[in-house]
Structure 1
Amino acid sequence: MSDFGWASTTDEVLAGKDLSGRTVFITGANSGLGQETARAFAARGAHVVMAGRDQAKLDAAVAAIRAEVADAQLDTLTLDLTSLESIRAATSRARQQFPAIDLLINNAGVMATPFLHTQDGFEMQLGTNHFGHFALTAELMPAIERGSLRRIVNLSSRGHHMAPFDFDDPNFVHRPYNPWASYGQSKTANVLFTVGLEQRFAVLGIHAYAVHPGGIDTNLDRHMTEEMREGLMQRIAKSDPGFRFKTIPQGAATSCWAATAEELEGRGGVYCEDCHVAEVDDERRDGGVRSYALNPSFAERLWKLSEELTGARFPS
């Protein structure tokens, strides 16, 4: 289905594509995969809106991109996904400045944090990785409806293999906190959110894709202790003996592919890895997507829970 694979880079995936006049909105664009995704789209002529929490880091990322892409069309937006108030304020500014958004890349995320809470009381990983992006996407949907490419990419992870979504206690109020169960649940939520978006908005020509970027050495592991890193690497070695780290341009390639691939025209609600649509597989540990992450009834249940807890409402 795809001419690309594990080793493909952002520039290879986007080669020959003209994105002039298109607006791409990327969260977590101040470093790592988000910054590389921004650079790759800017290099193809897109106007890129780089969202992140820290203006100084955003400015540094802009400077780094412009050093490579002199004519890059870049704007920045300060946005804190751990605060619904910040999300509402930032998206209000965004809708005024950028009336049409062609591609939304929900790239930001945290992993294996201590037991912390967002400003609205959500467990930190679920609150940042899912609830924050749910609210953000709801607020930006009018601009996406006015766009022409109409794709939403949600960064998930093979970490979704670690845990299904716990509807009884998503915020670890009653069960003991486990950073990996929390991370796995949040990554499952990213896939279920993708399914929910597809169920609601495919009729409007808006399609959503969940993406596993692969294993990349970025600052995503900044909350992990050395013991946690060793444990994770042992787990990976056991489940995927052939594991290799990707470079950042290789890691960001699947996001760029899902956002632009002609093969995906008219279809969404899928989970992508290594620049292809992954097979549903409940046993394989070195790839594939778990069936619980694509379950339509779970997606519906999560959507209603997300609306209830965030107060966010999508256009009907």
Structure 2
Amino acid sequence: MIKSRFEAFTPARIVVNNYDLEGWNIIVTGGASGIGVETARALAGAGADVMLAVRDRVAGERVAAEINQSIGADRVLAGTLDLASLGSVGSFVDAWGDQPLDVLINNAGVMATPLLHTAEDLELQIGTNHFGHFALTMGLTRALMNASEEDRLARVVQLSSIGHRRSGINWDDIHYRTRPYDKWEAYGQSKTANSLFAVGYSARFEEHGVTANAVMPGGIMTPLQRYLPQEEMVAMGWMDDEGNVREGFKTTEQGASTSVWAAVGEELEGIGGLYLEDCHEAAPWTKDDPVHGVMPHALDPEAAERLWVISEETTGLGS
């Protein structure tokens, strides 16, 4: 099992403290809020040029300016990307072109939404969290390969969640065309898909100089919870009746740490297809510790291949 010297609550800036990332190009999706901001801040602070790929360009530019001021350098820019529209994904890819891309951090996501759909009529959670990122990553693969060097492979960091334990992929009705919609099952399915994508992508592109790993960032209170009423979060034990977050939740900077480690950690050089948490490779999930670990269905190579075929058909993109 691969481990780093860092702990679950290590701040992201400490993870990247001894790295010089000058000359690196990095994209962080969803970089205008939550852990995406702190992921970008840590990497830019270490010298990388970072693009925030965001739905709200104005918000993205505001965050980019704040990060640049905080690090004392102009290294962060914002670009428009709506993962719920394959047309928007294509436009972002075209704008980036073949410019070398060292790390793609697929950080953006939605959680526990009502039954909503993307521009292509895909269920919103898997449509955004998985299919949008699938199209983005495939479109940027040439750029990732262009950044790969003899002593350093390019990397894809795919944010998953312990929520993957709630559901594997429902192969018969991924988009809830006929079955009753369950917002948490749908979220779990999308997070399983995120992990399976890392497995499938690494199997295809590691030999071409790009690896991918999935990341569970931990429990963090961010705009990801925008669809959840406070009473539901209280009922789940995430906070008390006064809105105080329970012990064990991370700050956004702590929540960014595993993403940053996945992007730069020397322990992961040339290694892909893993599920990472708390700055180490996750152990198998058990009932004794239900908020940690990874379930077999999220790393199953056969499921990864099956999902890959569906993803190619859905997006019109292939390897």
Tell me the TM-score normalised to structure 1 length. Answer: 0.94
Superposition map of 1:139-150 within 5 A = 139-148=139-148, 149-150=153-154
1:73, distance to aligned residue in structure 2 (A):
1.1
User: Which one of 198, 221, 228 corresponds to residue 225 of structure 2?
Assistant: 221
Provide the rounded CA distance (Å) in 2 between the counterparts of 1:260 and 1:165: 30
Match of 1:261 in 2: 265
Report the AA paired with residue 213 of structure 1: P
Provide the rounded CA distance (Å) in 1 between the counterparts of 2:110 and 2:21: 29
Provide the rounded CA distance (Å) in 2 between the counterparts of 1:273 and 1:34: 16
Match of 1:239 in 2: none
User: Which one of 295, 299, 308 corresponds to residue 303 of structure 1?
Assistant: 308
2:32 is equivalent to residue 26 of structure 1:
no
1:227, distance to aligned residue in structure 2 (A):
3.5
2:212 is equivalent to residue 212 of structure 1:
no
Moved more, 121-130 or 275-284: 275-284
SS of residue paired to 1:75:
strand
Match of 1:95 in 2: 97
Provide the rounded CA distance (Å) in 2 between the counterparts of 1:307 and 1:268: 21
Report the AA paired with residue 93 of structure 1: A
Where do 4+ consecutive residues of structure 1 move more than 4 Å?
none
1:282, distance to aligned residue in structure 2 (A):
5.1
Provide the rounded CA distance (Å) in 2 between the counterparts of 1:282 and 1:291: 11
Match of 2:204 in 1: 200
User: Which one of 168, 174, 183 corresponds to residue 170 of structure 1?
Assistant: 174
2:253 is equivalent to residue 249 of structure 1:
yes
SS of residue paired to 2:283:
coil
Match of 2:279 in 1: 275
2:123 is equivalent to residue 123 of structure 1:
yes
SS of residue paired to 1:233:
coil
Percent sequence identity over aligned pairs = 46
Provide the rounded CA distance (Å) in 1 between the counterparts of 2:158 and 2:88: 20
Provide the rounded CA distance (Å) in 2 between the counterparts of 1:226 and 1:247: 19
Provide the rounded CA distance (Å) in 2 between the counterparts of 1:231 and 1:170: 28
User: Which one of 85, 88, 97 corresponds to residue 86 of structure 1?
Assistant: 88
1:243, distance to aligned residue in structure 2 (A):
5.5
**Structure 2 portions without partners, runs of 5+:** 240-245
In 2, are the aligned partners of 1:43 and 1:72 still within 8 Å (CA)? no
Report the AA paired with residue 311 of structure 2: S
2:135 is equivalent to residue 158 of structure 1:
no
Match of 2:137 in 1: 137
In 2, are the aligned partners of 1:79 and 1:87 still within 8 Å (CA)? yes
Q: Relative to 1, partners in 2 of residues 1:92 and 1:234: Cα closer, same or farther, differing over 3 Å?
A: closer
Per-residue deviation, residues 68-116 of structure 1 (Å, max 9, x unmatched)? 11213122210100000111111101116xx100000000000000110
Per-residue deviation, residues 284-311 of structure 1 (Å, max 9, x unmatched)? 4131100011000000000000111111
SS of residue paired to 1:259:
helix
Provide the rounded CA distance (Å) in 2 between the counterparts of 1:52 and 1:90: 10
In 2, are the aligned partners of 1:191 and 1:293 still within 8 Å (CA)? yes
* Matched length: 306
2:60 is equivalent to residue 58 of structure 1:
yes
In 2, are the aligned partners of 1:195 and 1:296 still within 8 Å (CA)? yes
Provide the rounded CA distance (Å) in 1 between the counterparts of 2:193 and 2:236: 21
Per-residue deviation, residues 183-202 of structure 1 (Å, max 9, x unmatched)? 00000000000000111111
**Structure 1 portions without partners, runs of 5+:** 236-241
